[in-house]
Structure 1
Amino acid sequence: MRFSTQTLLLQLGVVLLVVLLSGAVHAWLVYDRIGTEAENQALTLARTVAADPDVRSDVQEISKEEGTPPPAVLAAGPLQEAAEAARIRTGALFVVITDETGLRLAHPETARLGERVSTDPSVALGGQEITTRNTGTLGPSAGAKVPIYAPGTPEGAGTSNGAIVGEVSVGYSMESLSQSLARDIVPIALTAGGALLAGVLASFLLRHRLQRLTLGLEPEEISTLVHDQVAVLQGVDDGVIGIAADGRISVFNAAASRLLDVPDATGQDWATAPVPEQLKKLTRPAAQDAEAVEVVAGGRVLVASARKAWHRKEDLGWVVMLRDRTELQQLTRQLDAVGTMSTALRAQRHEFANQLHTIAGFMSIGQHEQAKEYLARISATGPLKFPVEQGELLQDTYLQAFVGAKSVEASERGVALRIGPETLVRGHVADPQDVTTVLGNLIDNAVNAAVAGSATERWVEVELLDDSASDGGTLHIVVGDSGDGLGSIEPEDVFAEGFTTADHPARPGAGQGLGLALVRQLARRRGGDVRVLEAGSTGGPGAVFMASVPGVMDVLGVMDGPGVMDVAGEQADERKDSSG
């Protein structure tokens, strides 16, 4: 039997039991109420008969006589007539009058006159009123017994001096009470039936809702699914965020918490959750078919995608997937570095071949002095020539190759890349990946600004300084260009995720607008920073950016002279006063 069917039957059984118990208790209370009303009515009638002056006088007269009159005399007497008149008028089962010894002076059945009453009259003859439910000669009844006082004796005077001369007993048939209950039980039965019907209907609705909420699954299946969900969600490296149809976060696995660098947000409202705004935009109705986007969060580059979740025709909400692209970008940067170095080596090999041919020519024609001069010139200027001005200031081969490759790209776009005169790098690059990210992004942005600028001469100037005084070796980078500057754009706005000034943004997911945001997060994660030194002006010079990246250099010597920040500030002032 299915769990939902078991639940339905259990609910129906409980509802039926509750209705039956409630109906029985209600019927008993009604029955007790009718009995109590009958007792009160009997007490009122008994008091009325006992207070009748004629009844009091007649009972006193009979009590004074020796013995009790014969039944025939009593049947024709005034007490029998008064008692029967009261019984018939009120519909009582009996109205019985006795003397002070409990002998009947009036009774519905004349044959029982002069006999002792079947129920104990001692309480009433003792001066107290009492209500009773018992069975007498006329059957079960609810009644009352009231003492009869002698004429002239106040009620409640007690039993002394012959004050009580008899008692009146009045009763209403319990069978008539049952008939009254039968009439009153109809509404009770209808109410119970209505409650039972409502309970059955509610049980069926609850069963339907239970099946809908559990998607028709049994408890064992749900338990298995929960275990599988926990195992899968906590075992995958991708971040998974589930948003229910009501906007509440229902799933937030450990990978999502790690990638976004936020605590577990399960149970929070998605609209106010501490996650990047770009993720929230993915779950809006208009973005149902949107492509994956890149998000910078917690110093990582994440690829985020969102899909609508449906079960048959039921909307289950959204599922947001997060994939860490940081390691992929690191590998890409490493590959770029290797490619750059390979390009430099190929160019160097070609250049070496040409130079060896030249030397061989000099030797073959006996021009030994020219050959010596040529070798000296090669030793002084280096074997490889990139279109970068003052490239000899870079003593690190990695920086030479990387900046040289960037100079080739800039030259192809009509931009001259030059090394600033204050450049001083005496150490070796210890972390090429981060240096590639920071320096490459700043140079690329500067080249784009120079190309888009209005200056006639297009250039980009880079100055690099390593600082031996800092822990681990800090590389300071200053990049300026001949562009039109930031204009009305606030300097901090350019570091916002997704910010771009490109006229034709790349397709969604291509990383447009992530460069400066990623560079700043990377530098700050190392304890450094990236900021705008000068906003630039229209016609040039353009904006000047400065980056400090600690821990990326193996510094071999100690710098003398002014501090790095002083040099950077002086360079910015020089650019501000110069147009190129």
Structure 2
Amino acid sequence: MKRPAPRQPLRFSTQTLLLQLGVVLLVVLLSGAVHAWLTYERLGREAENQALTLARTVASDPAVRQEVQAISREAGTPPASVLLAGPLMAVAEGARTRTGALFVVITDETGLRLAHPDADRLGEKVSTDPSEALSGKEVTTRNTGTLGPSAGAKVPVFAPDSDTVVGEVSVGYSTENIVQSLTRDITPIALTAAGSLLAGILASFLLRRRLQRLTLGLEPEEISTLVHDQVAVLQGVDDGVIGVSADGRISVFNAAAQRLLGRPDLTGTPWKRAPVPEQLKALTLPDAAEADAVEVIAGGRVLVASARKALHRQEDLGWVVMLRDRTELQHLTRQLDAVGTMSTALRAQRHEFANQLHTIAGFMSIGQHQQARDYLARLAATGPLKFPVDQAELLQDPYLQAFVGAKGVEADERGVTLRIGPETLVRGQVTEPQDVTTVLGNLIDNAVNAAVAGSAADRWVEVELLDEPGADGGTLHIVVGDSGDGLAVGSEAAGAEGPEAEAVFAEGFTTSARPARAGGGQGLGLALARQLARRRGGDVRVLDPGSPGGPGAVFMATLPRTTADSPGRDKPPRENSYVGEDYNAGKDTDG
């Protein structure tokens, strides 16, 4: 037998709506009932006061007082026919008729009726206890007598010449009249309650819709689970995540984004005024393409940023900006390029080694031993490998020798001569190869590109390096010039410190004729080199912007704490007049 499917529980918004409707209905009913009860009590008190006033008026009438005293002195009570035609009956009925009272009853000191609306009741004892009034007290009552339920009053009748109670006057108003008055008064109360109920129902529905919109239709358990998952994901990933809500405020700024951008938690900050790179804000513009990714320099890091529109059931929730760190990847890529260049150089010279061995074998086979020895001596003096770098022997550090040598092979393949300047002197050892590789490699690559694009027939790039000892590590000074046509950043040549020259350090600046490729790193080399140098307390700047026809621009980089003393450090330093001075002063323009 198939078991019935369990009933699905009501949604939280539905439960909230029903609860609100129940509360509104209960409040309206209680308010209406209390108001109706208070109105009933007010009408009852008004009837009692009106009865008390009428009873006092009748009881204080001198004719009534005298007639009641006269009847009380007589033995027995007059017959009903006599009482019906007597003055007391006339006074009581006249007052009752004029005021609309249910009854006006006059009794003697024993409680026997002397006046009553029903003639058959004359001479009989009253149906309600008259003892309090006969004892001299005025009382208000609500009870049911022979004429029905009433709200009334009892007032004693005193003798004309003394304080002796000789009877009492009872006046009552029917409670049915009170109910009729209440019915008339309750109509606006009912209309007000109905209006309040409708307003409460409408407000409940509007609140339900707002609740569904704010919670995106999620149940409280789903929201709790979503919050836990969000915290676990956002704090557990290495990628930076920035959430921008539809109203333009930062709603998510995870720990990775704080680390990558070097900023504190910016949650709640307006996105347009947030202290983040402008390239990130441009990704969230209305006309921005979601597929585009940009490279951004922030805090000495190369970041790849992309943005996606956040939608939920066609509702616009804002933007999500993703940040990925590519700094280490670029460092490793540059080192891998250097190793690959070295490998290419080794493969290119493998044939030369074979030819040299064949030459030695030929000398030995024909008996020319002395020539073989001389040939071996020349090989020992020049080394087994020969990089296409002029004056490479000026570099003493093996890391710089290998890296610059590899760059020389790349430059030679593009028809550019890489040479070491005569003022080069590096006596220490490089201790921060990654930063040195990034800065020196970017400067050499830019210089080679400028030389290839230049109009000079002789294409060259010249590098001068000088290290300076320091207490916490040596400083490496790098000067790179080329034979290109200069920076050409303005219509007129700008000084080395001019605003036009500073434009080359802006992210995305490039002199390449080809458009920058997204994610290709074009236009980021100088910006990254400057940030790395400044993070170490150094700088990268333009010494000379160059001129059309050559020589080209000259850049200088200062990298503190990147070298360490070597055993030969005690040698006297050489003069170097080019570091910090005009690199092209005194040099031949033909290279």
Partner Cα separation in structure 1 for residue 286 and residue 174 of structure 2: 77
Q: Which range is displaced more, 32-41 or 170-179? A: 32-41
The Cα shift of 1:307 comes to 1.6
Deviations along 1:176-216, whole A, 9 cap, x unmatched?
Answer: 22233334434444444444445455555555555555555
* Cα distance change, pair 365–172 in 1 and its aligned pair in 2 (3 A): same
Aligned to 1:514: 524
> What is the aligned counterpart of 2:557 among 546, 553, 558?
546
Matched position secondary structure for 1:171: strand
Pair 1:41–1:426, CA change in 2 (3 A): same
Q: Matched residue of 1:421: which SS?
A: coil
Matched residues in 1 for 2:450 and 2:167: separation? 125
Instruction: Determine the structure 2 residue equivalent to 1:157.
Output: none
2:5 match: none
Partner of 1:575: 583
Cα distance in 2 between the residues matched to 1:476 and 1:145: 119
* Selected match of 2:9 from 2, 10, 13: 2
Conserved? CA contact 2:516–2:523, under 8 Å? no
Deviates more, 1:534-543 or 1:72-81: 534-543
Contact 2:542 2:553 in 1 (8 A): no
Report if the CA contact (8 A) 2:105-2:170 is conserved. Answer: yes
How far apart are residue 436 of structure 1 and its match?
A: 1.7
- Structure 1 range deviating more: 194-203 or 276-285: 194-203
Change (3 A) 1:170 1:318: same
Q: Shift in Å at residue 390 of structure 1?
A: 2.8
Residues 34-58 of structure 1: CA distance to partner in whole angstroms, max 9, x if unpaired? 2233233334434444455554555
Residue 531 of structure 1 aligns with an amino acid whose one-letter code is: V
Partner residue, 1:401: 402
Q: 1:416 to 1:16 in 2, by over 3 A?
A: same
Q: CA 1:24–1:379 in 2, change beyond 3 Å: closer, same or farther?
A: same
> Structure 1 residues 275, 131: CA separation in 2 closer, same or farther (over 3 Å shift)?
farther
Structure 1 residues 376-395: aligned runs within 5 Å: 384-395=385-396
> Identity of paired residues, percent?
74
Say whether the 8 Å CA contact 2:503–2:509 is kept in structure 1. Answer: yes
Q: Distance in 1 between matches of 2:543 and 2:135?
A: 117
- 1:339 is displaced (CA, Å) by 0.9
| Contact 1:238/1:321 (<8 A) preserved | yes
* Number of equivalences: 568
Distance in structure 2 (CA, Å) of the matches to 1:74 and 1:493: 125
Aligned residue for 1:277?
278
The alpha-carbon deviation at position 548 of structure 1 amounts to: 0.8
State the distance in 2 between where 1:84 and 1:326 align.
112
Gaps of 5+ in 1: 153-160
Deviations 1:203-257 (A, max 9, x none): 5555555555555555555555555444444444333333333334444444444
Letter in 2 for 1:572: G
Aligned to 1:109: 118
Q: In the alignment, is the contact (CA less than 8 A) between 2:48 and 2:140 conserved in 1?
A: yes
Distance in 1 between residues matched to 2:123 and 2:368, nearest whole Å: 173
Distance 1:542 1:127, change over 3 A: farther
Deviation at 1:119, TM superposition (A): 4.0
Pair 1:87-2:96 in alignment: yes
How far did residue 93 of structure 1 move? 1.6
1:171 maps to 172
Distance 1:115 1:435 in 2: 128
Letter in 1 for 2:569: V
CA–CA distance in structure 2, aligned partners of residues 520 and 45 of structure 1: 107
- Tell me if 1:421 matches 2:431: no
Superposition pairs of residues 71-470 of structure 1, within 5 angstroms: 71-98=80-107, 103-121=112-130, 129-146=138-155, 161-162=162-163, 167-203=168-204, 218-353=219-354, 384-410=385-411, 416-448=417-449, 460-470=461-471
- C-alpha distance in 2 between matches for 1:255 and 1:107: 99
Equivalent-residue separation in structure 1 for 2:84 and 2:320 (angstroms): 99
The one-letter code of the counterpart of 1:544 is: F
Worse overlay, 549-558 or 81-90: 549-558
TM, length-normalised to structure 2? 0.80
Q: Do the aligned partners of residues 65 and 288 (structure 1) sit closer, same or farther apart at CA in structure 2, a change above 3 Å counting?
A: farther
Look up the match of 2:45: 36
CA pair 88-435 structure 1, distance change in 2 beyond 3 A: same
User: What root-mean-square deviation, in Å, do the aligned CA atoms of Structure 1 and Structure 2 show?
Assistant: 4.1
- SS of the equivalent of 1:296 reads strand
- The TM-score normalised by the length of structure 1 is 0.81
| Mapped partners of 1:261, 1:26: distance in 2 | 66
- Following TM superposition, by how much is the alpha carbon of 1:338 offset from its aligned partner in structure 2, in angstroms? 1.0
- C-alpha change, 1:297 and 1:3, in structure 2 (3 Å) is farther
Inter-partner Cα distance in structure 2 for 1:469 and 1:121:
121
Q: Which amino acid aligns with 2:145?
A: G
250-259 or 168-177, larger mean C-alpha shift: 250-259
Measured against aligned partners, the alpha-carbon deviations of 1:71-96 in whole angstroms (never above 9, x if no partner) come to 43333233322322222222222223
Q: Give the letter for the 2:520 counterpart.
A: A
In structure 2, what is the equivalent of residue 156 of structure 1? none
CA distance in 2, matches of 1:61, 1:454: 148
Alignment deviations for residues 317-373 of structure 1 (CA, whole Å, 9 cap, x no partner): 323333332332233123112112213333454554555566667777877777666
Which residue of structure 1 aligns with residue 3 of structure 2?
none
Structure 2: tracts of 5 or more residues without a match: 1-7
**Greater Cα offset, 385-394 or 534-543:** 534-543
Moved more, 534-543 or 171-180: 534-543
Map of 2:54 onto structure 1: 45
User: Comparing 424-433 with 551-560, which one deviates more in the overlay?
Assistant: 551-560
Give the residue type in structure 2 aligned to 1:509.
Answer: G
CA distance in 1, matches of 2:273, 2:41: 62
Q: What is the Cα deviation at residue 399 of structure 1? A: 1.8
Is contact 2:501–2:545 with CA below 8 Å preserved after alignment?
no
What pairs with 1:556-567 in structure 2 (closer than 5 Å)? 556-558=567-569
User: Do the aligned partners of 2:101 and 2:171 also contact (CA within 8 Å) in 1?
Assistant: yes
Tell me, in whole angstroms, the C-alpha distance in 2 between the residues paired with 1:499 and 1:63. Answer: 126
Letter in 1 for 2:10: F
Q: What is the CA deviation profile of residues 472-496 of structure 1, one whole-angstrom value per residue up to 9, with x for unaligned ones?
A: 5543323345625763526665444
Mapped partners of 2:487, 2:275: distance in 1 = 37
Give the Cα–Cα distance (whole angstroms) in 1 for the partners of residues 274 and 431 of structure 2.
Answer: 39
Code of the aligned partner of 1:466: D
| Partner SS, residue 317 of structure 1 | strand
Distance in structure 2 (CA, Å) of the matches to 1:356 and 1:476? 41
- Compute the displacement of 1:24 (Å): 2.4
Evaluate the alpha carbon distance shift between residue 392 and residue 186 of structure 1 in structure 2; reply closer, same or farther with a 3 A threshold: same
Please state whether the residue corresponding to 1:573 is helix, strand or coil: coil
2:32 to 20, 23, 31: 23
Distance 1:544 1:95, change over 3 A: same
